[in-house]
Structure 1
Amino acid sequence: MYFRRWKNLFMVLYSTVSMTESIFGNQSGVSVIHTTVFYSSMLHISTIIETLRWRNVFIFYGTGDDKLVANMIEALERRHGELLLTVYDVTEMTQTSIYHLFIRLYPTDNTEFHAIMVLQNTTTQFLKAVDNVDNISNKTTNYQTNSNWILLTSADPKDEMLDLKLQLKHVIVLYDYQSIISPFVLIHGWKSEIKCLNFNKSTDVSKLGVTQNKTSVDDQMKCTATELYPYSNFKLNGRHLLIGTVITEFFQHKIIENLADILAEQLNFTYTFVQPQDLRYGGKAYGVWQGLVGQLVRTEVDLVLADFTITKERLEVIDYILPAFFSQSLGVLYLKGVETENSWIKIFRPLHHVVYICIVGTILFVGIFMSMLRKSETNENGSTSFRVDFSQFANILIFLISFMCVRGNGIWPNAASTRILVSFFWMFCVVITGVYVGNLTAKLSETKLKKPFNSLEELVEQPDWKWGLVGESLNQNYIQDSNVEIFNVIWNGIVAFNKTDATVLNTDPGFHVNRLMNPGEKYAFITIDPKYYVFSRNDCLLNSVEGVISSLQLAIGIPKSSYLKADLERIMWKLSDNGFLKLLDDIRYKDNRPSTCKTVDKNRVMTLEDMKGVLLVICFGIVLSVIVLAMEYFQNRLYLKTTYT
Structure 2
Amino acid sequence: MSLQHPSSSCLRVTLTEWYPFSIKMGRAYGGIAVDVLRLVAKLNRYCLTFMEPQDKFWGLRLPNGTWNGMIGQVNNSEADLSGTLIFTTESRAEVVDFSAPLYFQEHRILYKTPNLKPNIAGFLLPFTGTVWLSIAIMFIAVTVAVAILFLLYDVHYRTWGQTKGNSVPTPSAIREPGWRASHFTIGMLLSQPPRWNPNGALVVLFMTALWMFISFIVANVYRSNLVSMLVLPKIEVPFETLDELVNQHEYKIVMAAGGALEQKARESPPDSVLGKLIRNVEVSVDFDYVYQTLINKKYAGIGNEIQLDVVRHFRYSQTAQCPFTVTKKGFVTGIQMSYVFQKGSPLKPKFDKVINDLREAGLLDQFLDRALSNASHCRKKVNNSNELRALSFWDVAGMLSLFLGGIAVSTFAFLLEIFLKPDTVPAPLHRPVRAIARFRLLERTAKVFTRLLRSCKLPPGVPSVVKGNLQIKKMG
TM range (shorter): 0.5 to 0.7
| One-letter amino acid of the structure 2 residue matched with residue 444 of structure 1 | L
Aligned residue for 1:248?
Answer: 18
Q: Match for 1:378 among 154, 164, 184?
A: 154
Question: Is the contact made by 2:86 and 2:340 (CA closer than 8 Å) also made in structure 1?
Answer: yes
Asked if 1:405 corresponds to 2:190, the answer is yes
The verdict on how the C-alpha distance between 1:321 and 1:632 changes in structure 2, with shifts beyond 3 A counting, is farther
Kindly indicate whether the alpha-carbon contact (under 8 Å) linking 1:241 and 1:269 is maintained by their aligned counterparts in 2.
no
**Partner-residue secondary structure (3-state), 1:329:** strand
1:358 aligns with 2:134: yes
Q: 2:342 aligns with which of 555, 559, 569?
A: 559
Higher relative contact order (CA 8 A, sep 6+): 2
Partner in structure 2 of residue 56 of structure 1: none
Give the counterpart of 2:211 among 425, 445, 451: 425
The aligned runs of 1:140-159 (5 Å cut-off) are: none
Answer yes or no: is the 8 Å Cα contact 1:456–1:548 preserved in 2. no
Q: How does 1:122-271 map to 2 (within 5 A)?
A: 136=2, 138=3, 244-251=14-21, 252=23, 254-257=31-34, 259-260=36-37
Residue 576 of structure 1, CA deviation:
5.4
Q: Structure 1 unaligned segments of length 5 or more: list them.
A: 1-134, 145-166, 168-238, 495-503, 641-645
CA contact (8 A) 1:326 1:581 kept: no
Q: Is the 8 A contact 1:403 1:426 kept in 2?
A: yes
The one-letter code of the counterpart of 2:269 is N
- Pair 1:611-2:396 in alignment: yes
* Residue aligning to 1:25: none
Corresponding residue for residue 550 of structure 1:
332
Q: Which moved more, 1:376-385 or 1:303-312?
A: 376-385
Give the distance between the partners of 1:476 and 1:441, measured in 2 at CA: 46
Question: In the aligned structure 1, how far is the partner of 2:388 from the partner of 2:293?
Answer: 35
**Number of aligned residues:** 395
The 1:537–1:380 alpha-carbon spacing in structure 2 relative to 1, beyond 3 Å, is: same
Match of 1:280 among 49, 53, 57: 57
Task: Go from structure 1 to structure 2 and tell me whether the alpha carbon gap of 1:587 and 1:402 turns closer, same or farther (over 3 Å shift).
Answer: farther
CA distance in 1, matches of 2:278, 2:353: 41
| Matched residue SS, 2:84 | coil
**For 1:542-584, what per-residue CA distance to the aligned partner results, in whole angstroms no more than 9, with x for missing partners?**
5366568432432233333344556655665666566555546
8 Å CA contact retained: 2:99, 2:348: yes
CA distance in 2, matches of 1:390, 1:562: 97
Taking the aligned partners of 1:397 and 1:511, their CA distance within structure 2 comes to 64
Which deviates the most, 270-279 or 509-518? Answer: 270-279
Q: Please, which of 86, 90, 112 is the counterpart of residue 308 of structure 1?
A: 86
> CA distance change for structure 1 residues 386 and 488 in 2, over 3 Å: closer, same or farther?
farther
Q: Indicate conservation of the 8 Å contact 1:470/1:505, yes or no.
A: yes
How far the C-alpha of 1:443 sits from its partner, in A, is: 2.6
Deviation sequence 1:283-335 (CA, Å, 0-9, x none) = 346644343323443566665352311222101112234555131415465x6
- Deviation of 1:512 after TM superposition, in Å, equals 3.2
Query: Which residue number corresponds to residue 172 of structure 1?
Result: none
Q: Give the Cα separation in 1 of the matches to 2:407 and 2:336.
A: 62
Per-residue CA deviation, residues 175-203 of structure 1 (Å, 9 max, x unaligned), is: xxxxxxxxxxxxxxxxxxxxxxxxxxxxx
Cα RMSD for the two superposed structures: 4.6
8 Å contact 2:75–2:95 — kept in the other structure? yes
Q: State whether residues 108 and 331 of structure 2, in contact with CA within 8 Å, keep that contact through their aligned partners in structure 1.
A: yes
Q: Hey, what's the Cα distance between the residues in 2 that align with 1:623 and 1:580?
A: 72
Where 1:393 maps in the other structure, the secondary structure is: helix
Match of 2:341, SS state, is strand
1:433-480 Cα shifts (integer Å, max 9, x gaps): 2221122123334566666766576667638x7655545555554444
Higher fraction of helix: 2
Instruction: Indicate how the Cα distance of structure 1 residues 245 and 505 shifts in structure 2: closer, same or farther if over 3 A, else same.
Output: closer
Q: C-alpha separation between the residues in 2 aligned to 1:573 and 1:259?
A: 12
Secondary structure of the structure 2 residue equivalent to 1:403: helix
Q: 1:391 to 1:583 in 2, by over 3 A?
A: farther
Describe how 1:307-326 pairs up with structure 2 within 5 A. 307-323=85-101, 325-326=103-104
Q: Which structure has the greater CA radius of gyration?
A: 1
Q: Does 1:621 align with 2:406?
A: yes
**How far apart in 2 are the matches of 1:263 and 1:393?**
90
TM-score (norm 2): 0.65
- Aligned-partner Cα distance in 2 for 1:386–1:306: 92
2:224 alignment counterpart? 438
1:415-564 paired onto structure 2 within 5 Å = 415=200, 416-445=202-231, 462=249, 469-471=255-257, 474=260, 476-485=262-271, 487-489=274-276, 491-492=278-279, 506-515=284-293, 517-518=295-296, 527=303, 529-538=307-316, 539=319, 540=321, 543=324, 546=327, 549-551=331-333, 552-563=335-346
Give a deviation string over 1:309-362, Cα, whole Å, max 9, x none.
1222101112234555131415465x6665x44521111111111111122222
Q: For structure 2, which runs of at least 5 residues remain unmatched after alignment?
A: 24-29, 160-168, 426-476
Letter in 2 for 1:543: F
Identical pairs, percent: 17
> Does the residue aligned with 1:413 lie in a helix, a strand or coil?
coil
Decide whether aligned partners of structure 1 residues 607 and 330 sit closer, same or farther in structure 2, where only a CA change above 3 A counts. closer
* Alignment partners' CA distance in 2, 1:277 and 1:633: 88
- Tell me which protein shows more strand as a share of its residues: 1
